[in-house]
Structure 1
Amino acid sequence: MLFFALAIPAVVFAGVSKAGFGSGAAFAATPILALILDPAMALGMMLPLLMLVDAVTLRPYWRQWDWRSSRHLILGAVPGVALGAFFYTAADPDLLRLFIGGMAIAFVLFQLSVRMRWLRYRVRPFHHGVGMVAGLFAGFSSFVSHAGGPPVAVYLLAQGQSKTVYQATSVLVFWAINLTKFVPYVFLGIFTADTLRADLYLAPFALLGAWLGVKAHRLVPERAFFILTYVLLIVTGSKLIWDALG
């Protein structure tokens, strides 16, 4: 009961974020689940659900993305995923908890820096080489913690895109990244019978989150949504870091 009490809202939340708010907050589901599961199990359980959300979210944003930005990010993400696979084989569960928790805190600090105007985006779009570097970091952090949103956000927001173009580009990029991650996850044994069984139970809630996210993209102010996200990430990230160091 504790598992479902945490997993159901986490999966719905991830679906809403990916489908409506650019994927950045979607990885909050992983640190939430890592509070009660082995980090590898949390990663393995979330990937098929994230891929399901990707698949059903492509259609509402079809061809509204910035293909040039998408291409550069995806090309950089492929070697980033490979680096993530290499890092994963050398990591123990506490190191993964520390990394996931650190990414959660870092994401909040990044967003706070933007809100407080300590960090400013360039008005002029980044060069495509920066997009490939952002893709590299996104592929790596997405592989080890499903936390590829911040580097992609930095690059895309600098392009001065509209809300919908930004969202559509993010959907396309993470659809490709998650597909790339699937095969290494299989070979590393991250998927298990237990994670797949849990996915069957949670798939309807992922679809519900995706549907709500598309609706929310047009209706709900982002500010209220992300305030809740930041609080959630600070709490779960701090708890994971405490557990890892303890």
Structure 2
Amino acid sequence: MITDPLFYAAAIPAVTLLGLAKGGFSGLGMLSLPLMALVVSPVQAAAITLPILIVQDVVSVWAYRYTWDKRNVVILVVGATSGILTGYLLAAQVSDAAIKLAVGLISIAFAIRRLVLERGGREPKAIPADLPRGMFWGWVTGFTSMIAHAGGPPFQIYVMPQRLPRDVFVGTGAVVFALINWIKVPPYLALGQMTAENMATAGALFPVAIASTWAGVLLVRRVSGQLFYTAVYVLLVFVGAKLVYDGAVALL
């Protein structure tokens, strides 16, 4: 287990952000890995984070167990499984920097367009779940999650235009990413990232992970549905900007 106090000074805030994101404040979790990567390698940070995410998934799925959309979950998880497999097979050939840059640009364009439409009183009609788009964005979600740990924005781009009730949107994301994280375990094992040190370090952070996820659940339920969606769009702009910055810096 890692014992360096400097690591925990970065890891505890990072896990707290992950918990708030799992509780419903989508987007905050994107800041976690960069924080942890200040004190350990990005690969080790990702390996430590995966068991923490799985524990947090238990809390978030339990909290939203009655409010999730089955059709969306089935379509997205099937697509994501193929995306994860593609990411695993191409892990050595695909640049995560290029993926981050592309996902970031798409996320910013999508979020700004939706915000402009809403502010102008021209909110388009809700777009229902459908198989072709769902399979595509599910694949992108799985692929980017495996390659660049950036599965959240593609999920939001597909689901948010459906204008699901707040709790159904959050619950659907909780179930989708809970399943995706378990599907990612075998590839992570195959890549040799699930070491005893990393697992023990993750275990030491479990109490923070559980407490912060419950805090996210309680806080998000105090926010109105309309305000929640506006906040998620704004967060998506910032997350997209962070992805663009990370990708551009790495490429240059």
TM-score class normalised by the smaller sequence: 0.7 to 0.9
Deviation of 1:202 (Å): 1.4
Q: Who is 1:195 aligned against?
A: 198
The CA distance in 1 between the partners of 2:158 and 2:215, in whole Å, is 26
The aligned amino acid for 2:15 is: V
The CA distance in 2 between the partners of 1:81 and 1:51, in whole Å, is 16
Match of 1:18 among 5, 22, 31: 22
What CA RMSD, in Å, does the superposition of the two structures yield over aligned residues? 2.9
After superposition, the Cα gap between the structure-2 partners of 1:30 and 1:109, relative to the gap in structure 1 and judged at 3 Å, is: farther
Alignment of 1:138-149 (within 5 A): 138-149=141-152
Alignment of 1:82-97 (within 5 A): 82-90=85-93, 95-96=95-96
Residue 111 (structure 1) aligned with residue 111 (structure 2): yes
Alpha carbons 1:35, 1:239 under 8 Å: kept: no
Residue 75 (structure 1) aligned with residue 78 (structure 2): yes
After superposition, the Cα gap between the structure-2 partners of 1:62 and 1:80, relative to the gap in structure 1 and judged at 3 Å, is: same
Deviation of 1:145 (Å): 2.7
Residue 7 (structure 1) aligned with residue 18 (structure 2): no
Percent identity (aligned): 31
Residue 218 (structure 1) aligned with residue 245 (structure 2): no
Alpha carbons 1:57, 1:171 under 8 Å: kept: yes
Q: Who is 1:152 aligned against?
A: 155
The aligned amino acid for 2:54 is: M
Deviation of 1:138 (Å): 0.4
Q: Who is 1:133 aligned against?
A: 136
After superposition, the C-alpha distances for 1:103-128 in whole angstroms (9 at most, x for unaligned) are: 5576455433432349x765332422
The CA distance in 1 between the partners of 2:10 and 2:236, in whole Å, is 15
Alpha carbons 1:72, 1:129 under 8 Å: kept: no
Alignment of 1:223-234 (within 5 A): 234=241
The aligned amino acid for 1:112 is: I
Structure 2 spans left out of the alignment, 5+ residues: none
The CA distance in 1 between the partners of 2:36 and 2:124, in whole Å, is 33
After superposition, the Cα gap between the structure-2 partners of 1:230 and 1:203, relative to the gap in structure 1 and judged at 3 Å, is: farther
Q: Could you tell me the TM-score, scaled by structure 2's length?
A: 0.81
Q: Who is 1:181 aligned against?
A: 184
55-64 or 24-33, larger mean C-alpha shift: 24-33
- Tell me the number of residue pairs that the alignment of Structure 1 and Structure 2 aligns: 241
The CA distance in 1 between the partners of 2:235 and 2:202, in whole Å, is 25
Deviation of 1:207 (Å): 0.8
